[in-house]
Chains A and B, each alone.
Chain A
Amino acid sequence: MADSNTRTQRPLSPHLQIYRPMLTMMMSIVHRATGAALYFGTLLVIWWLVALAAGPDHFSYVQDIAGSWFGRLVLFGYTWALVHHALGGLRHLVWDTGRGFDLELVEWMARLNLAGSVVITVVIWLIGYSAMGGL
């Protein structure tokens, strides 16, 4: 933790609105946003586990909320955030090896990340719905 109380006049780098929005930059922001969303989503996962351990009444209470249209919406968002963040994390891990910085490749990895997150999320939900006996 650097000390941030030093109020001397330091040069500032240009802030966000100076830059033209680009896919790669949005993806960087979304990786952080999905990470933060998953942080709070973990609370829901643990809530579900605690309810399961607490017994049938608690469990069916939580299951009803999860199964409502609002619950499903949140869970769909959670699924997408997880898949998007996982794919984004893979990109980070590739960069960590020092590879994948070619600009055209970076652009393609970003597109694949975005498209992949949507496709995989929808596939997971289709499997889920078909496991439950159709839509």
Chain B
Amino acid sequence: MSLRTPMSKVRGLGSAKSGAEHFWRQRVTAIANIPLMILFVAVLVSNLGGNHASVTASIGSPMIAILFLLIICSAVYHMYLGMQVIIEDYVHGEGLKIVCILGNIFFAVVIGLAGAFSILKLSFGS
């Protein structure tokens, strides 16, 4: 005999109310991160020793700007998902947990937007 209601069985979303969605998105972004991070390191290394003009031209060029926008989307979403799991594992007081979860959301949004804005500005010019 199961204690689960028929409705909860049909929905199949478990106690987190979102099923495997969080897990799955962590994997999607993890897979995307592999090529993105290799290219990220390559671009940074190739810009070593550059000055403001040359680095702006490099990061702002269409291909690299698009690459960096993708990096920001994937990495920021991935780290946001990951940090939420860490918070849920270690922060047990209900109040503090909510504060941390909110902080994580705000941090990710601010960081992501600041990064995306900078890339666009570099690309479209001042």
Contact = CB atoms under 8 A, between A and B. Distances in A.
Contacts of B118: 46, 49-50, 52-53
A5 B93 CA distance: 7
B25 interface: no
B37 interface: yes
Contacts, number: 89
B33 A53 contact: no
Interface residues of A, number: 36
A42 B30 contact: no
Given A46-B111, A86-B33, A36 B48 contact: no
Contact of A53 (B27, B46, B53, B121): B121
Contacts of A53: 117-119, 121-122
B30 A131 contact: no
A42 B88 contact: no
Contacts of A86: 33-34, 37
B45 interface: yes
A55 B27 CA distance: 37
Interface in A32-70: 32, 35-36, 38-39, 42-43, 45-46, 49-50, 52-53, 55-56, 59-60
5 contacts: A49-B68, A49-B115, A49-B118, A89-B30, A124-B45
